[in-house]
Structure 1
Amino acid sequence: MGLPSVPKPRLTHWLLSTGEKVSAPIAAQLANGLFASLPIFIGGVINSVAVAAVAAGRMHTAPFIGWMVFEAVLGLVRIGVVQSSHSATPEKLERLRHLASALSVVWAASVGIGTLLCLTSGDWVLATIACLSTAAMVCGICLRNFGTPRLAAVMTFAALAPCAVGGLMTQEPSLRIISVQLPIFMTTIFSASFGLHRMLVSWMTTTAELNQSKALNETILQSSPDLTLILDKGYKVVFSNREPDDLYCETQLVGLDFLRILEEKDRPAAATALEQAQRGGPASFTISFTRPSGEKRWYDTIVSETSDSSGRLIVVARDISRQKHSEEHAIWMAHHDTLTGLPNRAVLQERLDAALVMAEGRESMRDPARNDAVPSHALLIVDVDNFKAINDTLGHDGGDVLLRALAARLCAAVGHGDLVARTGGDEFALIVAAGDAEALHRIAARIYEELREPILHGDRVMECGASIGASFIPQDGPGRSEVMKAADIALYAAKAAGRAQMKIFEPAMMDEVERHQAMITAARFALKRKTIVPHYQPKVCLGGEGRGDGRIVGFEALLRWRDRDGHVRGPDAIKAAFNDPILSVAISDYMLDMILDDIEGWVAGGVPFGHVAVNVTSGDFRPGGIVETVLDRLKARDLPASCLQIEVTEDVFLDKGVLDVERALKRLSHHGLRIALDDFGTGYASLSHLTQFPVDLLKIDRSFIGQIGAKGDAEAISSIVINLGHCLGLEVIAEGVETIAQQEHLIAMGCDTGQGYLYARAMPAAEVAAHVREHETARALLHLRQA
């Protein structure tokens, strides 16, 4: 069934609107008062129908009967409109508001006209009933419609204006006062309606704003990452913006004692903070919760009193777990090695200091009369043998795998409470409980037992060897530096003794280290002051018809240096410097320049020196070594390659860079430099090296030459070497020739060249020219006498 037609929306819109500025939701809520207060509404409908029925029954005239019928029909229509509003859509509800407002005005006018009929009927009882009924309905109009004051005013006017007219039309003069009172009454009603309306609008606006504020606050609280609780004076939770799972509780938070929610360790600090907040000052503390899975969460908590003078407390807890984990990780990183996960040098130093303090305390408590042993600790420095070779062959990934495996095996080899730390590179440090050498050897045995198991890297198998240096705490030093230095010195001794073993520090080791350092210092001093000079020892020809002809065929350059006192000393006094990769290359470079200067001078002076043999080591073959630059230096000085020979020892062929050595030697040989293999027979070179490398000369070591004539083995070995060299087309040189008898034996064996004190000691460059002249003069006189 369709709705009745609605009057002009403009008029009804004016009736439903208000002069107050309100939001659309509040305006709609005010207009919906048309469908509210059903008791008043139903009472008004029944009352108007009842009065009309009484009037029709007393008067029995058409106007009164028509009024009764009209009121009854109008009442039913209005009730139907109100009923339809309960389930109407927003669009339909808007139409119903306009219809209801128009019907309300019609109903008020009907009541007013009906009262007018009663006043003019001459029935004073009926007039009294009608007037009292109208007054009551006007009150209902005001009470029910003060949300729409304009509608209330129009309805009041429509109901009372006919009454005022009726008062003027009555024959009773006393009733005419109604015409005077009703305008005053309407004015009062109008004022009251608009006043009530303003109060209602203010209340509704304030309520809406409060609701919005409450909703906003709840949204902020619910979306805030912070946990917010409100506590009463007894510390019970009365509000929480989080579910119990966030705090790892099993029940609802509201109603619980806040302190009971916390872990035991956090309760004292929390109680102090709550008491401080109750005294008016904000307080803060940190709490943590642990899940059954072991996950831990931290909260930075602030507590303060609420501003409503209720004595309640507000607790705001911010989750700082990520920050805590970052801090813990940073602390862990500061004290641990990232590759192996072991403690680092900082932790080692702290533990060393603690062990020294503990040892000092035990020593002070020991009874000297009992002479009982004081338990002690030891420091072990473990260094991986040949770690660089592993990195070079398997790459850094392989090296990392080895270091991690070694770290795990060291941890497995030590006892509970012992420390294993990585101090850098391929070096580890252990602090173990050990009071004597026997205990240390047992620990070392466990370590080497762990290291026997091969380490797999992909399809490659790595062998892990290690050298260990040990020192006792505090026997080997009163402080951390001394204890660590003692262990380092012992490690140096272990490596010098052949690696893959443990050495325990002894005071004598310090002397060896000091001698080593003294050699290094002396070499650096000599290099800096340029007191390193080459001396030259001649090489004499032993071949020819019958006896050797004695010609000087060349010289070997030997290193000499002057110490601080000006004494000339040999290379043995600084031999440690030749194991230093940087210092040895610097010395070789300096020596080569001086040798080439001397050769350049001899060539310019016409001295028939033959050639100069220069000793090079494996370090000289590394990038930047003299072997790479010797050809360029000869070319820069316009010297022939034949004036220089290169002497290498057998260990050069065994170096890990043997391919580089082979390429370099072949390059030098291709450009005319002859290569001599020095100290042949004393090392581990195989015979295949004589064909693999471009060797032109063999030098028999002086240890064999010195035994010629005294030991048959020495003569046999020398003879074998000479024959081997000749079979391979090599020149053979005997060094260390000191007697005529040795020379005679060598000539008889067919040795090509001799070198030694029999001919001359090593001499400065300035004496070479004179020596060559004297030697040639003596040789010429000898030939004349023989002739």
Structure 2
Amino acid sequence: MNRIEMPSQRSPIDRLTIWLLGSRLAVPDAIASQLMNGLFASIPIFLGGILNITLVAAVAAMRHPSAAFLGWLSLEILFGAIRLGVLVHGRRAIRSGRTPPRLLAALLSCAWAGSVGFGAFLCLTSSDWVLAAIACLSAAAMVCGICLRNFGTPRLAAIMVLLALLPCAAAGLMTTEPIMPIISLQLPVFFLTIFSASFSLHRMMVSRMTALNDLERSESLNRTILQASPDYTLILDAADMVVFYNQPMTVEADQHALIGRSWLSVLPEEDQTIGRQALEDAKAGRSANLATHHFDASGQKRWTDVIVKQISDGSGRLIVVARDITHQKKSEEQAIWMAQHDALTGLPNRAVLQDRLDAMLDGADHAMTGALLIIDVDNFKSINDMFGHDAGDALLCAFADHLRAAVGADDLVARTGGDEFALILATGSEAEVERTAERIFDRLREPFSHGGRLIDCGASIGASFIPRDGKLRSEIMKAADIALYAAKAGGRTQLRVFEAAMMVEVERHQAMIASARYALQHETVMPHYQPKMSLRTAQAAGFEALLRWRDRDGALQGPGLIMAAFDDPVLSAPLSERMLEKILDDVEHWVRADIPFGHVAINVTAGDFRRGGIVETIPGRLDARAIPPACIQIEVTETVFLSQSADDVKDALRRLSGHGIRIALDDFGTGYASLSHLNQFPVNLLKIDRSFVARIGSDPDAEAISATVINLGHCLGMEVVAEGVETAEQERHLVAMGCDTGQGFLYSRAMPMEEVAPFLTTSRASLPRTGTA
């Protein structure tokens, strides 16, 4: 802000300029600069003053050609020429953005005003009253011109008026004419009047310029806000016609395209009803809001959130502000899509499946309107473990493509989680369900290729019908799950349609899981030990640890009632861990008590060979308890050799064998292992399955198979153990065949740990025998 105060750091010339051309009013620097530049404005007044006073001086020199009047004329011509040159130079400087010579122009103006006063003094003292009258009139005109032209610099105007009129007042007192002193008395009043008018005019003009400056700044700010705003802004008149429109990032010509149009006509037809309601709400004084869309110049759909309000100026006009929410809308659509679809395969998810089922059940009558198929990828975990998760993901995507290709346009394909998918078929025909399943199986027969390797992929399918198999969504899904369980239990890679009888098997399975969970939680799982008797010495060669558990009534049960738990990934590992820990506790006790128990055989499954499973921990546990490795045997079935992780099984068995632990192949002859597996895996013992032993003496084929297994084992340097020996006759045949060891009820049932030591001390003669090797 410019004030009369002069900062001390400015030069004397600057301080003089600011004082001479400033005022007592506080004005913005921009306005102060405009006021000072008024010295170079008002050319007509400037030229009129120069020409007028020069003409008066010329008249005076003609009437009185004295040196004084000729000098005055010369002075006026010189000042006029110099001031005109300074004026032209200053205007050029202003146009080019430079500071004009303000102090020079001000000093020249003061000198010129002094010359006017000097000339008037000469005219009044010349006793030429005609010339004096002309001079007085010209001086008065000059004073008026000075006030009008220099209203922006009132101090300069006051000084110039004093320089022009004070000589007149002095001349009035010096003349002999009696009336002239009256002029001298009137001039101070004229001075005050002129000064008051000059300063009043200055205040008025400064106030106006300040208001205009504020208005321009406000308009500039509003224009900047509108241009920077991401919103569309419209003003509607009382007839809802667009009278103002601003669109961000749009040229002014395009903005005028909407002016004069009805706002409702701008909206899409489907939104005009809510747009009309928004106008009515706004005119009633309420704020109205709606979401609508339009298409931009490139044809892309743009969404906007619109607010309509009444302008509170009594004009009835409305302001419409619309913000582009296309990005937000797309984000919402993407979020909705992601909430309803699987990120990996792009298929609808369980939520969409459930909504479709609910909709079908709501409109269903007694007639079948659709079918639900639950599809599970067979052995997916093994594929993941063997080939990696990237292969598993690629397999799921390919599987999803196969399902899409196998169904119709009205059918739904969804991924419900993990390796499980679901189909909703718009058919109530069981034949059509079977045809769809067959198309899926046909596509899956072609191996899936990943990383240059072919991967076989199968699927099990369970189906239920809507609404035959349930009135609720949960019932339909449960029925399909039960059918899927039946398909898996029946050998996988097949379709099973839900039947009421399947519930029995599921309930039995769930009962097994519940019993196993109860046994683990209440720590009722324990090993019992069945002796393995040497058929040559009639002495106990060792024992096999068999799982026993107590139910809620405290009754001792075998593993058959919790068999499903061994295939459950959550329960199988804890069961194996609990058995191993208790077996090692018992073995450690017998070793320290020097009880000649021989060895304990421990049954392990394919799951126990998983990384982090119990098998890889056995050597470390034996070392920690100081148990000799010969005290432990590991029994595996042929299915372990055929598992997806056969290489890992082979490596684990070799580590166990290298540690001194013997390996037994259980149930030999009932699986699908080839004889080459006996060389590939470090097997020390063969166990003849009880199904063959039970038919010895009554079935020649069973006897031939048993004899062949015994001979094969001896040829390979392996010990042979016969399971399920229950009669003396079976024992005599086995002895005659050269079998090494027998195990079964003939010798003893499985016994708890406390009965092992008494059993070992019992006389062998008490056992039924019909012959020895």
Q: TM-score, structure 1 length as denominator?
A: 0.84
Quick one: which of 478, 497, 504 aligns to 1:504?
Answer: 497
Residue 112 of structure 2 corresponds to: 107
| Structure 1 residue 459 corresponds to structure 2 residue 464 | no
Residue by residue over 1:148-201, the C-alpha shift from the partner in whole angstroms, topping out at 9 and shown as x without a partner, is 223323333333333334444445434543233233222222221122122222
CA distance in 1, matches of 2:504, 2:763: 46
* Alpha-carbon distance change, 250 to 473 in structure 1, aligned in 2, over 3 angstroms: farther
Quick one: which of 157, 163, 179 aligns to 2:162?
Answer: 157
Q: What's the offset of the Cα at 1:537?
A: 5.3
* Alpha-carbon distance change, 227 to 651 in structure 1, aligned in 2, over 3 angstroms: same
Quick one: which of 385, 389, 392 aligns to 1:392?
Answer: 385
- Assess if the C-alpha contact under 8 Å between 1:471 and 1:505 holds in 2: yes
* Alpha-carbon distance change, 477 to 115 in structure 1, aligned in 2, over 3 angstroms: same
Residue by residue over 1:310-331, the C-alpha shift from the partner in whole angstroms, topping out at 9 and shown as x without a partner, is 4443444444444444433333
Residue 27 of structure 2 corresponds to: 22
CA distance in 1, matches of 2:543, 2:768: 20
| Structure 1 residue 448 corresponds to structure 2 residue 459 | no
Q: 1:316-331 maps to which residues of 2 (within 5 A)?
A: 316-331=321-336
Q: What's the offset of the Cα at 1:604?
A: 9.3
- Assess if the C-alpha contact under 8 Å between 2:382 and 2:645 holds in 1: no
Letter in 1 for 2:720: V
CA distance in 2, matches of 1:268, 1:580: 60
CA distance in 2, matches of 1:97, 1:326: 62
Q: What's the offset of the Cα at 1:476?
A: 0.8
Q: What's the offset of the Cα at 1:210?
A: 2.6
- 251-260 vs 461-470, greater mean Cα deviation: 251-260
Residue 474 of structure 2 corresponds to: 481
Quick one: which of 762, 765, 769 aligns to 1:777?
Answer: 765
Q: 1:597-608 maps to which residues of 2 (within 5 A)?
A: none
* Alpha-carbon distance change, 219 to 603 in structure 1, aligned in 2, over 3 angstroms: closer
| Structure 1 residue 432 corresponds to structure 2 residue 425 | yes
Q: What's the offset of the Cα at 1:488?
A: 0.8
* Alpha-carbon distance change, 605 to 207 in structure 1, aligned in 2, over 3 angstroms: closer
Q: What's the offset of the Cα at 1:406?
A: 1.9
Residue 178 of structure 1 corresponds to: 183
CA distance in 2, matches of 1:607, 1:29: 118
* Alpha-carbon distance change, 401 to 601 in structure 1, aligned in 2, over 3 angstroms: closer
Residue 680 of structure 1 corresponds to: 668
Residue 703 of structure 2 corresponds to: 715
CA distance in 2, matches of 1:199, 1:264: 56
* Alpha-carbon distance change, 49 to 486 in structure 1, aligned in 2, over 3 angstroms: same
Q: What's the offset of the Cα at 1:78?
A: 3.2
Quick one: which of 144, 151, 155 aligns to 1:146?
Answer: 151
Residue 407 of structure 1 corresponds to: 400
Letter in 2 for 1:432: L
Q: What's the offset of the Cα at 1:730?
A: 2.1
* Alpha-carbon distance change, 66 to 347 in structure 1, aligned in 2, over 3 angstroms: same
Q: What's the offset of the Cα at 1:640?
A: 5.7
CA distance in 1, matches of 2:580, 2:77: 135
| Structure 2 gaps, min length 5 | 1-11
CA distance in 2, matches of 1:465, 1:235: 67
- 754-763 vs 481-490, greater mean Cα deviation: 754-763
| Structure 1 residue 693 corresponds to structure 2 residue 698 | no
- Assess if the C-alpha contact under 8 Å between 1:12 and 1:102 holds in 2: no
- Assess if the C-alpha contact under 8 Å between 2:368 and 2:468 holds in 1: no
Q: TM-score, structure 2 length as denominator?
A: 0.85
* Alpha-carbon distance change, 137 to 587 in structure 1, aligned in 2, over 3 angstroms: closer
Q: What's the offset of the Cα at 1:407?
A: 2.1
CA distance in 2, matches of 1:250, 1:181: 64
Letter in 2 for 1:111: V
CA distance in 1, matches of 2:729, 2:604: 31
Letter in 2 for 1:107: W
CA distance in 2, matches of 1:479, 1:568: 40
SS of the aligned residue for 2:671 comes to: coil
Q: What's the offset of the Cα at 1:433?
A: 0.9
Q: 1:584-733 maps to which residues of 2 (within 5 A)?
A: 584-588=572-576, 613-622=601-610, 627=615, 642=630, 645-670=633-658, 673-733=661-721
CA distance in 2, matches of 1:213, 1:541: 110
Q: What's the offset of the Cα at 1:431?
A: 1.5
* Alpha-carbon distance change, 132 to 626 in structure 1, aligned in 2, over 3 angstroms: closer
Residue by residue over 1:246-300, the C-alpha shift from the partner in whole angstroms, topping out at 9 and shown as x without a partner, is 9997864555544444444444444433443344444433343443656544444
Residue 46 of structure 1 corresponds to: 51
Quick one: which of 559, 563, 584 aligns to 1:575?
Answer: 563
* Alpha-carbon distance change, 246 to 424 in structure 1, aligned in 2, over 3 angstroms: farther
- Assess if the C-alpha contact under 8 Å between 1:113 and 1:159 holds in 2: yes
| Structure 1 residue 516 corresponds to structure 2 residue 509 | yes
* Alpha-carbon distance change, 179 to 686 in structure 1, aligned in 2, over 3 angstroms: same
Letter in 1 for 2:424: I
Quick one: which of 735, 739, 760 aligns to 1:751?
Answer: 739
- Assess if the C-alpha contact under 8 Å between 1:244 and 1:251 holds in 2: no
- 349-358 vs 549-558, greater mean Cα deviation: 549-558
Q: What's the offset of the Cα at 1:771?
A: 7.0
Residue by residue over 1:439-483, the C-alpha shift from the partner in whole angstroms, topping out at 9 and shown as x without a partner, is 111221222333344434333333332211111111111111111
Residue 339 of structure 2 corresponds to: 334
- Assess if the C-alpha contact under 8 Å between 1:248 and 1:291 holds in 2: no
Letter in 1 for 2:707: S
- Assess if the C-alpha contact under 8 Å between 1:616 and 1:648 holds in 2: yes
- Assess if the C-alpha contact under 8 Å between 1:244 and 1:250 holds in 2: no
Residue 7 of structure 2 corresponds to: none
CA distance in 2, matches of 1:632, 1:283: 76
| Structure 1 residue 734 corresponds to structure 2 residue 722 | yes
- Assess if the C-alpha contact under 8 Å between 1:456 and 1:462 holds in 2: yes
Residue 39 of structure 2 corresponds to: 34
Quick one: which of 410, 416, 420 aligns to 2:409?
Answer: 416
Residue 8 of structure 2 corresponds to: none
Letter in 2 for 1:647: E
| Structure 1 gaps, min length 5 | 1-6, 364-373, 544-548
* Alpha-carbon distance change, 523 to 203 in structure 1, aligned in 2, over 3 angstroms: closer
Residue 352 of structure 2 corresponds to: 347
- Assess if the C-alpha contact under 8 Å between 1:305 and 1:313 holds in 2: yes
| Structure 1 residue 134 corresponds to structure 2 residue 142 | no
Q: What's the offset of the Cα at 1:489?
A: 0.8
Letter in 2 for 1:86: R
Residue by residue over 1:81-108, the C-alpha shift from the partner in whole angstroms, topping out at 9 and shown as x without a partner, is 3333332369998664334333333433
- 590-599 vs 207-216, greater mean Cα deviation: 590-599
Letter in 1 for 2:507: E
Letter in 1 for 2:33: A
Identity of aligned residues (%): 61
CA distance in 2, matches of 1:12, 1:733: 124
Residue 546 of structure 1 corresponds to: none
Letter in 2 for 1:142: C
CA distance in 2, matches of 1:53, 1:731: 151
CA distance in 2, matches of 1:159, 1:296: 76
> What is the alpha-carbon root mean square deviation over aligned residues?
4.0
Letter in 2 for 1:717: I
CA distance in 2, matches of 1:633, 1:32: 102
CA distance in 1, matches of 2:584, 2:19: 119
Residue by residue over 1:1-39, the C-alpha shift from the partner in whole angstroms, topping out at 9 and shown as x without a partner, is xxxxxx988777654333333344333322333332222
Residue 83 of structure 1 corresponds to: 88
- 184-193 vs 277-286, greater mean Cα deviation: 277-286
Q: What's the offset of the Cα at 1:622?
A: 4.4
CA distance in 2, matches of 1:268, 1:42: 69
* Alpha-carbon distance change, 568 to 333 in structure 1, aligned in 2, over 3 angstroms: same
Residue 278 of structure 2 corresponds to: 273
CA distance in 2, matches of 1:160, 1:727: 147
Q: What's the offset of the Cα at 1:586?
A: 4.6
Quick one: which of 210, 214, 222 aligns to 2:215?
Answer: 210
SS of the aligned residue for 2:133 comes to: helix
CA distance in 1, matches of 2:595, 2:749: 19
- 478-487 vs 518-527, greater mean Cα deviation: 518-527
CA distance in 2, matches of 1:355, 1:289: 36
